[in-house]
């Protein structure tokens, strides 16, 4: 929009260099904000709250603060994480003002009233522990011998409901027994600094003889939102490149394909550039993979590959993420756990296929409630991996809800 307005004004204003900066922007594009501004030109940086504290840009004289930020929130009842636009805190607003005038006198224009600053804004942001999934925190504390988590002296106590639901999930995953004590599986899961469902998936890979593939998928999931990039001026090319990696079984297999092809290229930066993949994210995935591989060995799981078949891989994923199951219904999918209507994300390889049963990595809310990173499963697998959680009657009823040829 800014570029269109500048083009309309033509020679009436000097050159305006408009640059974005956000966490998932490729490194080479991020670096442009630090380049010297040509004489007679003016640089405008459109930034998320990454610019509050994470970096300093020389020559910034004016800051325009809209008074809002995107903040991650977690709903324990639905298991959904969402990025919600909320008023920023006074501390954040003061940090933004501090970006102006670092090297010369500057000014901050705040797009909110003094009354709103003093009466509506919180002093500081809500601590993350009070708005996130506590499964990993609960598992860590249990592994340290802290059993009474409800009365544990947290610096910022999380909501009790979130903590109780995290313990329920650990019990369902087999990490805790009926006394709330760590099981043998739970002790293994606690070795991995990842979400409990992911650690259960890693342990299940031993049974399905596909630990190599599951370790890779786990590493890629840890950076999944930052792997592909889609520049607006080359969106068609980026979408085509992404579609070339799609695999019939779903998005986890797509991520596996991306990593394996990058590995075959000799971990090439040029390969990433040609395929609209962020090199920095892939390097991080490789580092995470090495770390997980070391931990897999530590819990005495043999690294074996089953590259010729995808069913064992999908079964291992289901063993960890059976909590996150959706069944096709009228108007989208219904989560089996909460009967919540959700949709496959448009970037998914399964977006147009609409399989009857799916398992998803996470739920996110943007314009709709979306399942992100989705694989197709057979309902019978749920009885194999979680007979304590699913019963044949439940799955049979779900299968009867829609006609066979229904399309959402």
Tokens of 387: 């007979």
CB-based contacts of 35: which residues, under 8 Å, 6+ apart?
none
pTM of the model as a whole: 0.83
Instruction: Give the H/E segment covering residue 162.
Output: helix 160-172
70-79, 179-188, 205-214: the lowest-pLDDT one = 70-79
Domain ranges (residues) in the chain: 2-130, 135-180, 191-320, 322-400
Q: Which residues pair with residue 73 across a beta bridge?
A: 82
Pick the CATH number of 2-130 from 3.40.50.300, 3.90.850.10, 3.40.50.2300, 3.90.1150.10: 3.40.50.300
Whether 2-130 and 135-180 share one fold: the answer is: no
pLDDT tens-digit profile of 148-164?
898 899 999 998 888 99
* CATH number assigned to the domain covering 135-180: 1.10.10
- The C-alpha atoms of residue 356 and residue 334 are separated, in whole angstroms, by 11
Q: What is the mean pLDDT of residues 217-229?
A: 88
- Asked which of 22-36, 216-230, 345-359 is least confident by mean pLDDT, the reply is 22-36
What is the Cα–Cα distance from 375 to 377, expressed in whole angstroms? 6
Backbone region of residue 391 per phi and psi (left: phi > 0; alpha: psi in -120 to 50; beta: other values) = beta
Q: Which of 339, 311, 310, 306 is nearest to 325 (CA)?
A: 339
Nearest C-alpha neighbor of 150 from the set 169, 131, 165 = 165
Phi–psi pair at 44, nearest 5 degrees: -120, 120
pLDDT in the model for residue 292: 96
User: Can you tell me the mean pLDDT for 222-229?
Assistant: 83
Strands (DSSP E) contained in 89-138 are: 107-110
Residue 331's closest CA among 353, 347, 354, 349?
Answer: 354
Q: How sure is the predictor about 296, in pLDDT bands with cuts at 50, 70 and 90?
A: very high
Three-point CA angle 328, 332, 336, nearest 5°: 50
Asked if 383 and 395 count as a contact pair (C-beta separation under 8 A), the reply is yes
């Amino acid at each position: 929009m800014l570029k269109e307005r500048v083009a309309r004004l033509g020679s009436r204003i000097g050159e305006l260099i408009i640059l974005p900066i956000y966490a998932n922007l490729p490194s080479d594009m991020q670096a442009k904000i630090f380049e010297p501004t040509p004489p007679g030109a003016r640089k405008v940086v459109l930034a998320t709250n990454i610019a509050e504290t994470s970096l300093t840009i020389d020559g910034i004289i004016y800051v325009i603060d809209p008074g809002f930020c995107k903040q991650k929130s977690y709903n324990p009842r639905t298991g959904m994480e969402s990025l919600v636009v909320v008023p920023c805190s006074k501390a954040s607003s003061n940090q933004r003002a501090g970006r102006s005038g670092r090297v010369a006198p500057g000014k901050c224009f705040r797009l909110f009233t003094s009354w709103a600053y003093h009466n509506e804004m919180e002093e500081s942001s809500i601590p993350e522990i009070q708005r996130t999934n506590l499964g990993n925190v609960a598992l860590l504390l249990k592994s340290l011998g802290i059993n009474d988590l409800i009365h544990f002296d947290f610096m910022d106590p999380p909501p009790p409901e979130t903590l109780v639901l995290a313990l329920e999930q650990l019990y369902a995953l087999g990490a805790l027994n009926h006394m709330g004590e760590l099981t043998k599986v739970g002790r293994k899961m606690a070795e991995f600094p990842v979400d409990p469902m992911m650690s259960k998936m890693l342990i299940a890979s031993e049974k399905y003889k596909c630990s190599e593939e599951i370790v890779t998928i786990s590493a890629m999931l840890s950076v999944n939102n930052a792997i592909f990039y889609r520049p607006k001026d080359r969106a068609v090319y980026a979408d085509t490149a992404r579609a070339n990696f799609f695999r019939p079984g779903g998005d986890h297999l797509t991520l596996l394909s991306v990593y394996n092809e990058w590995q075959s290229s000799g971990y090439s930066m040029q390969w990433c550039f040609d395929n609209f993949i962020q090199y920095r994210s892939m390097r991080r995935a490789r580092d995470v993979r090495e770390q997980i591989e070391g931990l897999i060995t530590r819990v005495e799981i043999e690294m074996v590959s089953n590259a010729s078949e995808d069913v064992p891989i999908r079964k291992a994923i289901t063993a960890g993420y059976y909590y996150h199951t959706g069944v096709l219904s009228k108007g989208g999918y219904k989560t089996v756990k909460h009967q919540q209507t959700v949709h496959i994300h448009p970037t998914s390889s399964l977006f147009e296929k609409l399989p009857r049963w799916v398992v998803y990595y996470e739920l996110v809310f943007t314009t709709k409630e979306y399942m992100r990173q989705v694989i197709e499963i057979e309902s019978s697998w749920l009885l194999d991996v979680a007979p304590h959680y699913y019963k044949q009657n439940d799955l049979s009823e779900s299968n009867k809800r829609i006609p066979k040829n229904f399309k959402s």
